[in-house]
Amino acid sequence: MLKLLNLLKDGRFHSGEALGAALGVSRSAVWKQLQHLETELNLTIHKVRGRGYQLAAPLALLESQAINEFAEGEQWPVFIHETIDSTNAEGLRLASEGQPAPFLVLAERQSAGRGRRGRQWVSPFAENLYYSLVLRVEGGMRQLEGLSLVVGLAVMRTLQGFGVKDVGLKWPNDVLVRGQKITGILLELVGDPADVCHVVLGIGINVNMQANDQVDQEWTSMRREVGTAIDRNRLVAKLSQQLQHELARHRRYGFAAFQEEWEQAHLWQGRNVSLVAGSTRIDGVVLGVDGQGGLRLEVEGVEKSFSGGELSLRLRDDS
């Protein structure tokens, strides 16, 4: 199927005979694969008698060579999948099989993409970025403190570099544009966090998606914001470069070095919020974050810090 996509991705017409010859299959087999592309990947293919088949729009696929051409600094091994359950899950599998870290897992589509608290992450084919960086972490919990917040800063700066305006952060790991979600971050860990472990930095960015009725919250995309299609291979290279820079700072200085700049980028600084954990709700005012990346709230006149992967932060109606 990927070979057929590569033949069609230029957006021009290709005859069934030419496609069959290139793939070494019959025209009827080509027809079946075209139907599969439409139903499985939700791609629109025009069929015109005498001219052949044409994708409704040209398709730019992720390619290791193209990513490397844009890359600066260290180049991580990259595994690119046409379809996978989730890039985070594949990263964890590869780490357990002994693949040396750091390495990168990308996919054109996820069949079971995940967000925080078990939510589905909608993953249309070849439109967005589904990116998982696997790191080997030594030296205990300090290397993990505030890590998702550092990743958020790296994503924000990458988006700004592509011309996305009004971008900011929401604790603990969302990137928003004027209150609309453009990026989600999901960190997963395997091993002993007090000794040696692997952590997967999962990043989902809405890149070229312009319409989708499956997303259950306000969202935007890079293309919506800047008005033109984004080269996802260049985005992978620039995001990796930014992550290398920020992760090196984090390893050397810890999250405390990022605390002030993260607070400056936090869109809900000083806002009245509710912090929800299961059936428990705590109302307070956002003061910022602490040196470990925990949320600082003023609760009934007292400053308290909160951290944990299952916490949800929501604006109060009176904010």
Please give the positions annotated as active site.
116, 181, 314
Q: How far is residue 149's CA from residue 175's CA, in Å, rounded to a whole number?
A: 10
> Taking CA 243 as the corner, what is the angle to CA 176 and CA 153, rounded to the nearest 5 degrees?
30
Half-sphere exposure for 104 (CA within 13 Å, toward CB): 25
Cα separation, 41 vs 8, whole angstroms? 14
139 is in an annotated binding site: no
Q: Which two tokens stand for residue 87?
A: 């890039």
Tell me if 86 is assigned to a ligand binding site: yes
Residue 274 CB contacts under 8 Å (≥ 6 apart), including other chains? 281, 282, 283, 313, 314, 315, 316
Tell me if 116 is assigned to a ligand binding site: yes
3 is in an annotated binding site: no
Dist. CA 34–CA 28, nearest whole Å: 10
Whether 33 has a binding-site annotation, put simply, is no
State how far the Cα of 48 lies from the Cα of 308, in Å rounded to an integer. 55
How far, in Å, CA of 303 to CA of 311, rounded?
18
Select from 227, 230, 188, 242 the least CA-distant residue to 206: 230
Answer for the pair 171, 248: CB distance below 8 angstroms, yes or no.
no
Measured over the CA atoms of residue 132, residue 244, residue 292 and residue 194, the dihedral's sign is positive
Residue 51 marked ligand-binding: no
The identity of residue 88, as a single letter, is N
281 is in an annotated binding site: no
Q: Is 98 annotated as a binding residue?
A: no
The Cα–Cα gap between 310 and 100 comes to 30
Q: Which residues carry a binding-site annotation for biotin?
A: 86-88, 110, 114-116, 181
Q: Which residues carry a binding-site annotation?
A: 86-88, 110, 114-116, 181
